[in-house]
Structure 1
């Protein structure tokens, strides 16, 4: 407060100014009556008291291969709240001081223990500028690591003697000479505990950590105290929460043999096996709190069973097939051992299908399943019309998380009419297959590959004569995300199929090779790629080739666009003639991404159409095209 320059008595001053004060008061009252209240409110509205600012982070002498700028700005409160300025300069100063402390922590976490951080606030014409200056200095390295073990369990382990307890962190990712970062220290701790738990010590834990920094040597030493816990081997399985499923089913899924060294990684594999049954809404797998009398440690499995039955359905539409509806009913535990029975009804103007599938998991082997199936179809397509009935039995063997083998037998009965008339046929087939799959999502893959090869010999009768032929079908797809997120996914697919042993006309129409449609060459009608008869209907062939490429572009988290190009060829020879008439199509699709998969709308246009081809095709369904 400034000192007063005049020292006249206050009462005398007021007396001399009284008349003027009264006059001004009357004038103010008159103005209040004359001016509308809204205008007065606008004139009296106080200015925004906040302090807008900008932030500039300067990193001097940045070390090679270390992006400190991103780390500093990612931890900055000033940067995060730049659009919400504080009410006062004092509040801005508080933000700056908080940031300086945070940046010092970032430097230490990255191994820059001698770094210097400074900040200042500079006035500008419209807003103030906050400058944060960072000088990292030299990066410290790891000098030594040591691990000491405490407790009553430091003797011989389940997998051997005391050598099973590492004396340093060098073998788990933290060796002398490495950058002294906090992430490296914590990662080495986790790796050490994971190693101990995988070597028969399920209760191992770090009880103390000491980190010493030597500024003269620019080095850091790390010392841990670890309680390894008792050595253990696998015991039995205790199950809690079962209501319908028989308990021995879950016990048989355990991937270990009782008496072997306890490995906590096996618990995760066990839990995944249980979840794959889709019989439970929750699954917890953990070691018991204490070992049994024989020294073996039981595993406790706590589950909550999901409802065993479900019903559902889906809608689709395509220009060539019209609208379609698919309804299904599933029982996932039919006989108490996770047997699955699924019934489906698929209705569309061109075909009506009803089918049943029975699956028995762990058939004669933990990684093997039995599949029995049958369906009846009435079809009215341009290539042929009539009835077909199919039944099959097969076994699928899972070799690992990627590869699967399958084999079985099938019976195929048909009475169909095509351009050559009506004929009945029956065929017995022996389908054999191998498949490899590494995709990250079944309905919406963004990475990985799919590859499948099938070979099916057929024998039977068709057109009143003995018939034998074989079909080989190779298909695959690949998915690549070139950016850091899934905003752009490039997807490619291909198919090559061949029929040998019989001429095209001798093979029943529904067993010939076709291409075209929503899951094949978009832009052409279903089965319309390839030879046509005099009426412009597809005849099918003995070889088929398909190619597809699309870019899946996410405009928002829930909406995407998909430009695509497809190509296909069907011929009468067993090997595709690449010099023949390859049909090309291009188009644009839209995707609406939901929790259960993307909703797909594709519009395809043939690039080299024939007279029998439509100008475009529209496809609507759930899931990507491939």
Structure 2
């Protein structure tokens, strides 16, 4: 009997079963042998690459820092960039590079990219740049509107002077290369200057830089809207608990109606911070346009504790190791004065310094009563002295003045014997500073002058009148390329008959940290009976060049210096001695810390010197 042929439904079922079986076979282990080839094919579509930029040195860093093509080459996900993405980045690079070059003033740059394979098979993309000529500023138009322009129409007015200075000092003058960062900085700096000079609401009405790529020129146009001229109003003081508001008000050198100036408020704030009564002080202008004619000045203070005591341990190259105790009461006996006492006990110096000084009075004056007592041993000599002062001081932004009457006593014991003398004198001290920083000056100068007229009162020497003069000039000068120079000259003289016994504390000696390095403190002076004595004339000078040790440590400087000077009884007897050496400087927040190794030519020996701060 012949078997029957399969029905259509049966044939369809068998075909489906065969397809499922074949699919299952593909999932078995032996079916994965093709996977390595698949991975290789996928890897061939990925591109680890390098970028080479051919451009002038000053532009290469700009392009390698900001071109997407260059930035992504070292990114962690570089392996995720495939050939297609690399092609896109290379195609976009010329337009992106031209945009970057325009910020540096190159508006006709030619940029080309090409690809090649390196010997190790890594793709290399070359970016070749021909920047072309740099555009130069051809013209600057500086216009103003608002109250500044209105008042500037009056010849000789402060507004006219300010507008003239703004145009004269514009940071991007004609003929200078154009750079977008410099253009932005110039606008920011100029606007900040206008706001600081009485117009805190000033804004730029419009600014434009018109580029002529054909002539490689840029035309600048600016219009300033100054807004209103602000005038200062009443002081609003916050934070006072123990002190009277007059203590703060007396330090303000302006009154209602004074044109606003940022410098005025900053000087006021600095005086508050230096007063010694406040932990912090800030001074701000209330810049609400509605109150421009009498803008309130906001003063916020945080008071220091009423009393403060400090114990210190230190060492000085001049007087050796020491222990100090300082105490300050900022309102003793509930009166508006400050009482300070400092005791120092050391191997060479034992001293007490006391001062009672008033809170600020009208005109920035302060009354004072002070005294000192000390015992100083230098070399084979011991000096015991004391003084008492009554006077008045004034501290303005640039000038310090001190007037006082003084009673002085001094006794000196050395191998030549003992001398004792007293004096009553009237004194005037004057200090002028024009420096970029009072703590860390690098540019400017200071001048200190001292005068005294008095009468010596002695039991062992002749009584008589005397006069004393002293001057110290210090110059700070930046030399460029991170080099800085400083120079100092000081001189002093006492005018009196030879027989008149002037106290040793009013005479002069040289040697030490702020005098002639390479010699001990107060070891330079005339010889009297084989012992160094104080002289009636003195001269010292110093010259120093310094620069930072490295760009990574800008606060640490090295220096070389030469000092010269001496003290004598007469100018004809004064023979300068020399010291020179090298040193390190740490420009700390409280002033420079100086460590110097100096060779004293006359002493024929090296000496280490250590000091902190600036001497005026």
**TM band (smaller chain):** 0.7 to 0.9
Residue 527 of structure 1 pairs with residue 500 of structure 2: no
**1: distance between equivalents of 2:500 and 2:90?**
83
Number of the residue aligned with 2:387: 390
1:114-172 CA distance string (max 9 Å, x none) = 444445566555785754514244626466758797xxx899978889x9899xx9688
Shift of 1:350: 1.9
Residue 619 of structure 1 pairs with residue 616 of structure 2: no
1:300-328 CA distance string (max 9 Å, x none) = 33344454554445554456743223443
Number of the residue aligned with 1:354: 352
Structure 1 counterpart SS, 2:531: coil
Q: Structure 1 regions of 5+ residues with no counterpart? A: 1-9, 22-48, 60-68
**2: distance between equivalents of 1:155 and 1:568?**
55
**2: distance between equivalents of 1:353 and 1:261?**
49
Deviates more, 1:444-453 or 1:224-233: 224-233
**2: distance between equivalents of 1:329 and 1:386?**
26
Q: CA, structure 1 residues 565+206, in 2 after alignment: closer, same or farther (shift >3 Å)?
A: closer
**1: distance between equivalents of 2:315 and 2:92?**
59
**2: distance between equivalents of 1:146 and 1:482?**
33
Q: CA, structure 1 residues 370+182, in 2 after alignment: closer, same or farther (shift >3 Å)?
A: farther
TM-score by length of 1: 0.72
Number of the residue aligned with 1:478: 475
Structure 1 counterpart SS, 2:468: strand
Contact 2:427 2:453 in 1 (8 A): yes
How many residue pairs end up in the alignment?
A: 555
**2: distance between equivalents of 1:196 and 1:73?**
35
Contact 1:271 1:285 in 2 (8 A): no
Q: Among 439, 446, 450, which residue is 2:442 paired with?
A: 446
Contact 2:109 2:129 in 1 (8 A): no
Number of the residue aligned with 1:583: 577
Residue 572 of structure 1 pairs with residue 569 of structure 2: yes
TM-score by length of 2: 0.73
Number of the residue aligned with 1:542: 536
Shift of 1:107: 3.6
Number of the residue aligned with 1:605: 599
Structure with the larger helix share: 2
Q: Any residues of structure 2 matched to 1:544-559 within 5 Å, and which?
A: 544-556=538-550, 557=553, 559=556
Contact 2:269 2:281 in 1 (8 A): no
Q: Among 511, 532, 535, which residue is 1:516 paired with?
A: 511
1:43-64 CA distance string (max 9 Å, x none) = xxxxxx99685754424xxxxx
Q: CA, structure 1 residues 217+382, in 2 after alignment: closer, same or farther (shift >3 Å)?
A: closer
Number of the residue aligned with 2:74: 85
Number of the residue aligned with 1:497: 492
Q: Any residues of structure 2 matched to 1:101-250 within 5 Å, and which?
A: 103-120=97-114, 130-137=126-133, 139=135, 141=137, 173=170, 182=180, 186=184, 189-190=187-188, 193=191, 197=195, 201-206=199-204, 213=211, 229=227, 232-250=230-248
Contact 2:201 2:289 in 1 (8 A): no
Q: CA, structure 1 residues 207+353, in 2 after alignment: closer, same or farther (shift >3 Å)?
A: same
Shift of 1:70: 3.3
Contact 1:144 1:220 in 2 (8 A): no
**2: distance between equivalents of 1:624 and 1:171?**
35
Shift of 1:544: 1.8
Q: CA, structure 1 residues 148+50, in 2 after alignment: closer, same or farther (shift >3 Å)?
A: same
1:536-582 CA distance string (max 9 Å, x none) = 53122222222233343543526544443332222221x2546x4x3
1:188-246 CA distance string (max 9 Å, x none) = 65577557657865433346656665667876676778766556543222223333332
Number of the residue aligned with 2:462: 465
Shift of 1:600: 3.6
Q: Any residues of structure 2 matched to 1:53-64 within 5 Å, and which?
A: 55-59=52-56
**1: distance between equivalents of 2:549 and 2:185?**
37
Contact 2:233 2:295 in 1 (8 A): yes
Structure 2 counterpart SS, 1:77: helix
Q: What do you get for the CA RMSD once the two structures are aligned? A: 4.7
Structure 2 counterpart SS, 1:427: strand
Q: Among 495, 499, 502, which residue is 1:507 paired with?
A: 502
Q: Any residues of structure 2 matched to 1:310-329 within 5 Å, and which?
A: 310-312=308-310, 315-317=313-315, 321-329=319-327
Number of the residue aligned with 2:58: 70
Structure 2 counterpart SS, 1:391: strand
**1: distance between equivalents of 2:212 and 2:312?**
67
Contact 1:444 1:597 in 2 (8 A): yes
**2: distance between equivalents of 1:475 and 1:457?**
19
Structure 2 counterpart SS, 1:344: strand
Shift of 1:184: 6.4
Structure 2 counterpart SS, 1:438: strand
Q: Structure 2 regions of 5+ residues with no counterpart? A: 1-21, 34-45
Shift of 1:82: 9.0
Q: CA, structure 1 residues 464+272, in 2 after alignment: closer, same or farther (shift >3 Å)?
A: closer
